[in-house]
């Protein structure tokens, strides 16, 4: 069964700290891996998409990496701010998901940045 796991479920850090969120997946045959942010009561906002052929993507203070061989992706947030507080989810688009592209989601890491 293809699964995506995110540990820890919750993380609390002081403002200004650099931090890493982890995502692991069970099958290295993926189209891409995507990171999302979800604020309470809101939909998911796409942060970064890493194609299978790429090793990392950057957007502002965010950097996502992909290591297919180990089945891992990380989201690095530099100089964290209270506004970064949200739940971060990763999702993998597995090659064998069938006739239509489907993403398999992790359960998310709830990040709290303390001022």
Partner 1 sequence: SQTIHQWPATLVQPVGSPLSLECTVEGTSNPNLYWYRQAAGRGLQLLFYSVGIGQISSEVPQNLSASRPQDRQFILSSKKLLLSDSGFYLCAWLTGNTGELFFGEGSRLTVL
Bond from prior residue into 8 cis (ω within 30 degrees of 0): yes
**Going by C-beta distance under 8 Å and a sequence separation of 6 or more, which residues neighbour residue 80?**
13, 15, 16, 17, 18, 19, 111, 113
Q: 38 to 97, contacts with partner 1 by CB under 8 A?
A: 41-46, 49, 51, 89, 91, 93
Identified binder of partner 1 from the candidate list 18, 81, 107, 112, rule CB under 8 A: 107
Say if strands 109-114 and 103-105 run parallel, antiparallel, or are unpaired. Answer: unpaired
Q: 7 to 46, contacts with partner 1 by CB under 8 A?
A: 31-32, 34, 36, 41-46
Considering only CA atoms, which of 83, 82, 64 is closest in space to residue 20? 64
- Looking at the Cβ atoms of 69 and 99, the one nearer to partner 1 is 99
Identified binder of partner 1 from the candidate list 23, 103, 111, 113, rule CB under 8 A: 103
Q: Residues interacting with partner 1, by CB under 8 A?
A: 31-32, 34, 36, 41-46, 49, 51, 89, 91, 93, 99-103, 105-108
């Amino acid at each position: 069964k293809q699964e995506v796991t995110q540990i820890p479920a919750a993380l609390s850090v002081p403002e200004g700290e650099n931090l890493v969120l982890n995502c692991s997946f069970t099958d290295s045959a993926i189209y891409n891996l995507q990171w999302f942010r979800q604020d309470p009561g809101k939909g998911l906002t796409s942060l970064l998409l890493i194609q299978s052929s790429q090793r990392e993507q950057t957007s502002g203070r965010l950097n996502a990496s992909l290591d297919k061989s180990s089945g891992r992706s990380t989201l690095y947030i530099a100089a964290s701010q209270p506004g970064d507080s949200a739940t971060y989810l990763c999702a993998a688009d597995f090659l064998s998901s069938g006739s239509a592209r489907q993403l398999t989601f992790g359960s998310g890491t709830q990040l709290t940045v303390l001022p």
